[in-house]
Structure 1
Amino acid sequence: MIALASAIEPLRLANRVAGKPLYRWPCFSIDGQPVQASNGLEFQVGGDLEAASGFHVVAVVAGLDPGRVEDKRLFAWLRRMDRQGADVGAICTATVVLAKAGLLDGYQCTIHWENLAGFVEAFPELEVTDELFEIDRSRFTCAGGTAAADMMLNTIALQHGQELATQAADQFMHERIRDQRDHQRMSLRARLGVRHPKLLSIIATMEENLEEPLSRNDLAREAGLSTRQLERLFRKYLGRSPARYYLELRLNRARLLLLQTEMSVIDVALACGFVSASHFSKCYRDFFGRTPRKERGLPPAPEHMEGRVA
């Protein structure tokens, strides 16, 4: 809902400020029925896909579990809109829908940071960035949330001038129009409430090396610290050892891959720096209180197969 509203409201306010209808945004669902958002509110639509035609721009909006979308009618309709010359784009996790429809081959695209790792694993052939939004010729994608507002405000500026975009942003107290190079996530300093520069640098290095974790000695050496100083930093500011913090980062990444991809358990384990499924399963169960297979609602694996199961 927040992504949808963030995409629509800049257009409405651009019309209001301009004093004329520069944009319109009829909304449709696959079957023409109202759509319930994850917050419980129902959204009324103007018809089904067959009623949607003749548009210059088509934007697909998705939220939770986009990987479950397997509607061939939707994919065919999107490809038809593309053939008819429409710009086709995605808001939030709908990037997955465009990828499944085969509409992102040869285009740069982005997606919400929480879905980024799973999306890259599922579509390794695509050129995926972690930008706030991407506009690449006839394709546009954005990270969702309020990023949709920034994408639309940038579009308004390109089509009708920066002054109109700024006035529209001012109407809903959006104090700065971000461009696509802005970061999706809050800075590490803001997320962790930590200001120590060397600690932040080490954590950033950890986040960049989840598949092949660095040793404690390597992390300390890169930061210009002794291993004892490294331990003290983590204990003082984060209340845990560097090894524990690193493990939690890897397990949280693993959970996203389990929930968002069809990767086997062993492939998820390897992608997150674990050498065996059995070790991964034990660490996962200790941290989350359930095994990786149970996370997916699968029956437990036989004990003698635990180290090799998919």
Structure 2
Amino acid sequence: MALLQRSKQRLDIDLLVLPDTNLILIASVIEPLRGANRIAGSELYRWRLLTPDGAPVPTTSNIAVPAQGSFRASTEDAPLFVLASYDWRRSATPALKMQLSRAARYRTVIAGVESGTWLLAEASLLDGLSATVHWEDYEDFALAYPEVRAVKDRFVIDGKRLTTSGSLPTVDLMLEVIRQRQGYSLALEVSRLFRYEQPSFHIDEPLSAASAGLRLHDPRVTQAVHLMEEHIEQPLVLARLARRVGVSARHLQDLFQQSIGAPPHVHYLALRLNTARRKVIETTASFADIAAATGFNSASAFARSYRASFSESPSETRRRLRRRITPSQASL
């Protein structure tokens, strides 16, 4: 599935937006992709908004969303996201269901976003598959479509079908797409743009910038992440990190997997590489100094990890993204 495979190629996505969709639902698909483009400094994703008739579609916020075209069944193979919120039944015309069925022959992926799941089920595109819907609709959906395995989850990926249960779960899905295509480091940076943990009211417990996009339900994971952030230059080995938290190394690995879906060493490396990338872009420090400041034994080891994570060398990033200070700017 191209949507969930490591790739350097730009991914084009079509969004079929139905009347009375929430603005936040549209943003939940687009904004993580926009954030990935901005942070990466290149167009990793491009999207196109379609409506059933090509006309601007009204939203529940009384703001019409302009369309870039009308949705028609064709041989297009770009992933298709079907977005719907309220009154989805008004859009479930025989013509639209037929168009969705025809589109499924060519589209690499079709996703049902919130009530878009109902549209996919109506078009028999979820038969024999697992799918999720908004929690308020779960019982009704399960009764209406016994051929679909309804599950209570934030999002579900089952073959070529993706479904989400709401706006924030859709953000989670898009972060998973970014993680699969560009890696954990970029997904972690993008997540910081959209979510944060409610900071403590105690002065000595500030909100952590690096962990701002994570829902750290276990205090031991929170403590471990903070320790990682405090020891970027001289990383702690897993055994010592676990001792500081008060658990075994194996238990800490399990807690990380349950809490953020990644083992400690993957999260730790992402923190260090994201710190390094900011230094590459925002400073003139040598790569050897950046390597030392982010816990790498050598500039070559840093370069290998950097390229593996960001698909380019530090020097390529700096050449591509750094703002060049012109003589006239420097004199200001």
Task: Name the counterpart of 1:19.
Answer: 41
42-51 vs 121-130, which moves further? 42-51
Distance 1:60 1:20 in 2: 26
Match of 2:160 among 126, 138, 143: 138
Equivalent residues of 1:13, 1:168 under 8 A apart: yes
Task: Name the counterpart of 2:53.
Answer: 31
Structure 1 gaps of 5+ residues are 180-310
Distance 1:79 1:70 in 2: 12
- 2:49 paired with 1:10: no
- Aligned residue identity for 1:141: T
Distance 1:62 1:161 in 2: 29
Distance 1:177 1:88 in 2: 27
Task: Name the counterpart of 2:142.
Answer: 120
Q: What SS is found at the alignment partner of 2:47?
A: coil
TM-score, with length taken from structure 1: 0.55
User: Aligned runs of 1:8-157 on 2, under 5 Å?
Assistant: 8-50=30-72, 54-157=76-179
Distance 2:68 2:188 in 1: 30
- Aligned residue identity for 2:112: A
Equivalent residues of 1:78, 1:88 under 8 A apart: no
Q: What SS is found at the alignment partner of 2:45?
A: coil
Equivalent residues of 1:150, 1:178 under 8 A apart: no
User: Aligned runs of 1:152-171 on 2, under 5 Å?
Assistant: 152-171=174-193
94-103 vs 119-128, which moves further? 119-128
Aligned-residue identity in percent? 35
Distance 2:86 2:159 in 1: 27
Equivalent residues of 2:73, 2:103 under 8 A apart: no
- Aligned residue identity for 1:20: S
- Aligned residue identity for 2:59: A
User: Aligned runs of 1:262-277 on 2, under 5 Å?
Assistant: none
Deviation, 1:51, is 8.8
Closer/same/farther in 2, CA of residues 177 and 60 from structure 1, 3 Å limit: farther
| Residues matched between the structures, number | 179
In the TM superposition, what whole-angstrom CA distance separates every residue of 1:254-307 from its partner, at most 9, and x where no partner exists?
xxxxxxxxxxxxxxxxxxxxxxxxxxxxxxxxxxxxxxxxxxxxxxxxxxxxxx
Q: What SS is found at the alignment partner of 1:96?
A: helix
Distance 1:47 1:101 in 2: 22
Deviation, 1:15, is 0.9
Structure 2 gaps of 5+ residues are 1-22, 197-211, 217-332
Distance 1:133 1:113 in 2: 12
Closer/same/farther in 2, CA of residues 101 and 78 from structure 1, 3 Å limit: same
In the TM superposition, what whole-angstrom CA distance separates every residue of 1:173-213 from its partner, at most 9, and x where no partner exists?
4534579xxxxxxxxxxxxxxxxxxxxxxxxxxxxxxxxxx
Closer/same/farther in 2, CA of residues 20 and 30 from structure 1, 3 Å limit: same
In the TM superposition, what whole-angstrom CA distance separates every residue of 1:61-112 from its partner, at most 9, and x where no partner exists?
0011223333222222222221114201111111100000010012110000
Closer/same/farther in 2, CA of residues 93 and 16 from structure 1, 3 Å limit: same
Distance 1:52 1:156 in 2: 27
Distance 2:101 2:166 in 1: 22
Q: What SS is found at the alignment partner of 2:167?
A: coil
- Aligned residue identity for 2:65: F
Equivalent residues of 1:110, 1:128 under 8 A apart: yes
User: Aligned runs of 1:138-217 on 2, under 5 Å?
Assistant: 138-174=160-196, 175-176=212-213
Closer/same/farther in 2, CA of residues 30 and 178 from structure 1, 3 Å limit: farther
Distance 1:74 1:162 in 2: 37
- Aligned residue identity for 1:115: D
Tell me which stretches of 4 or more aligned residues in structure 1 moved more than 4 Å.
none
Q: CA RMSD in A?
A: 2.0
Equivalent residues of 1:120, 1:128 under 8 A apart: yes
Closer/same/farther in 2, CA of residues 178 and 130 from structure 1, 3 Å limit: farther
Equivalent residues of 2:75, 2:106 under 8 A apart: no
Task: Name the counterpart of 1:201.
Answer: none
47-56 vs 19-28, which moves further? 47-56
- Aligned residue identity for 1:148: T
